[in-house]
Structure 1
Amino acid sequence: MGGQFGSSLHRQRGMSYWSLILIIAGAGFILTCVSKMGPGYIDAYYVDQGLKKLAEQDNLRDMTRGQIKQELNKYFLINNVRGQPTESVQIIRGADSILISVDYEVRQPLIHNVDVVMRFNKQLNTAKAELCCEPLVDLEQFRQRD
């Protein structure tokens, strides 16, 4: 009976050196991805929240394009949103609604010559403010006119 017990312990040696290296490399890769991509998703969250806060304003229909952009820029400044989201604000007035779109992409270098492209499209349509901030309108038709 002692022989079986001894051979059972011999097979339960634990993790090998290469298994440990593989786990550490995998964890390092995941941490690298999170640290590189995280800020882009945090900015997208604040863009989303900024549009929702703008939708709550009662006088939104009376505001000019400049005032709307100024309100969004104030919110972005407070929450440290910079770069592409602030430059990509597009405002389109309709007969009975206003469409505010923040459509942008962020290219982030990941490892050496590998980049990650993150695309964000947030829209606020005052006619359907409860559906903020999912894209409801394809803006390609409007971009060609600008």
Structure 2
Amino acid sequence: MSYWGWLLVVAVFGFILTCVSKMGPAYIDAYYVDEGLRKLAENAELRDMSRGEIKKELDRFFLINNVRGEPTKAVKIVRGADSMLVSIDYELRQPLIYNIDVVMRFDKQLNTAKPELCCKPLVDLEQFSKRD
């Protein structure tokens, strides 16, 4: 391979490495948010827990797994007549190169009526906030 070919390979590899190093931690946090909701779904006393107890349980899981920042602030709990929705919906903006930013959006939900569908967004919470 010529000099220019190797230079192109190194540049592409460097760009990929930069993307992984900048965006990887956000996806690792999203994985642990997912795991935290799954662990919460396994709790038999979830329906009897108060909002504070649920947040405390999630905060404990996040502390153990070093999840900080936006995911810990974005916890919302909505109680219904026969179920409860725990939602962690957040957006991160990460600077990539010079003035280019990457926006990553994560939306994880736990509906106690359907715990087997954990972590997939089933309800649009924006409709609730518009009515309030």
> Could you say which TM-score interval applies, normalised by the shorter chain?
over 0.9
Q: Provide the residue aligned with 2:39 in structure 1.
A: 53
State whether structure 2 residue 100 is matched by structure 1 residue 94.
Answer: no
Tell me the percent identity: 73
Structure 1 gaps of 5+ residues are: 1-14
SS in 2 for 1:61: helix
Q: One-letter code of the match for 1:30?
A: I
| SS of residue in 1 equivalent to 2:4 | helix
Q: How does 1:114-129 map to 2 (within 5 A)?
A: 114-129=100-115
Q: Which residue of 2 aligns with 1:4?
A: none
Match of 1:39 among 17, 22, 25: 25
1:29 equivalent to 2:12? Answer no
> Is it true that 1:106 corresponds to 2:92 in the alignment?
yes
Report the counterpart of residue 143 of structure 1 in structure 2: 129
Q: Which has the larger radius of gyration?
A: 1
| TM-score of the two chains, using structure 2 as the length reference | 0.98
What's the Cα RMSD here?
A: 0.8
Question: C-alpha deviations, 1:1-24, integer Å up to 9, x for none?
Answer: xxxxxxxxxxxxxx1100000000
Any idea what the Cα deviations from partners look like across 1:36-95, whole Å, max 9, x if unmatched? Answer: 000000000000000000000000000000000000000001000001100000000000
Q: 1:51-90 residue pairs with structure 2 within 5 A?
A: 51-90=37-76
**Unaligned stretches of 5+ in structure 2?**
none
Q: Aligned residues, how many?
A: 132
